[in-house]
Amino acid sequence: MTLAERQMQFLFALRSKGVTDGRVLTAMEKTDRAMFVKGHFADRAYEDMPLPIACGQTISQPSVVGLMTQALQVNPRDKVLEVGTGSGYQAAILSHLARRVYTVDRHKPLIDDARATFQALDITNLTAFTADGSHGLPEQAPFDRILVTAAAEDPPGPLLAQLKVGGIMVLPVGQSDSVQSLIRVTRNDTGFEYEELRPVRFVPLLEGLGKD
């Protein structure tokens, strides 16, 4: 299969799973997933499945990345926070849609790798930090959009507090590894509105920094 054919098949798979937003599809077309998948899994980068990365974590399934990005309704002037950098793939896609993106992960080796990848791809509006994202990123708050790619029991209070009025946060919530739902939280003048979007499965949002 040629690269162009593989790319077409990848985009077709995304569309058939409900990723229909043209801006999101273009951002995903610009972001080569193989750059974020290291070693012997790299040749499976265009399949619609999660794959293992360093520190026992995973790069999410492309269709789930697409659906979450679509649900976030990012505008070109937005300042966005992602919690759970992992490989950096989701953050790179967001960088094509937003003015400024910050991403944090509790594992320093993942942040070191992701930074190198962002540099290789010449992405300059995206900054990655090693931090416990359950506290958000107070230095850069408030945010227009927040995307969390690890599951908490409930939306963390600091993240709700760091969302602008009119802002949107998309995150998986659930009490166990197996039963989680993706929810969208919209902040309005008087409080927060919650919508349940679909069942998902993510690694847990853990407290503190990784030990590696």
For the annotated catalytic residues, the residue numbers are 60
What does the alpha-carbon distance between residue 113 and residue 42 come to, in Å, rounded to a whole number? 15
* Stretch of residues binding ligand SAH (CB under 6 A), selected from 68-76, 131-139, 171-179, 181-189: 131-139
What does the alpha-carbon distance between residue 167 and residue 74 come to, in Å, rounded to a whole number? 10
Smaller CB separation from ligand SAH, 106 or 145: 106
**Residue 97 DSSP class:** T
Each residue 27-46 as x (binds ligand SAH by CB under 6 A) or -, in order, gives --------------------
Q: What element of type H or E holds 183?
A: strand 180-187
Amino acid at 44: R
Positions 80 through 109 that interact with ligand SAH (CB under 6 A): 83-84, 86-87, 89-90, 104-107
Residue in this structure with the two tokens 């963390």, named with its chain if needed: 156
Minimum distance of ligand SAH from residue 13's CB (angstroms):
17
Minimum distance of ligand SAH from residue 84's CB (angstroms):
3
Each residue 132-161 as x (binds ligand SAH by CB under 6 A) or -, in order, gives xxx--------------xx-----------
Minimum distance of ligand SAH from residue 107's CB (angstroms):
5
- Could you tell me which residues come within 8 angstroms of residue 134 by beta carbon, excluding any fewer than 6 positions away? 83, 152, 156, 158, 159, 205, 207
Each residue 170-209 as x (binds ligand SAH by CB under 6 A) or -, in order, gives ---------------------------------x-xx---
Smaller CB separation from ligand SAH, 63 or 87: 87
- Could you tell me the two tokens for 52? 């293992």
- Could you tell me which residues come within 8 angstroms of residue 174 by beta carbon, excluding any fewer than 6 positions away? 151, 153, 180, 181
What does the alpha-carbon distance between residue 78 and residue 194 come to, in Å, rounded to a whole number? 21
Q: Which residues bind ligand SAH (CB under 6 A)?
A: 57-60, 83-84, 86-87, 89-90, 104-107, 110, 132-134, 149-150, 203, 205-206
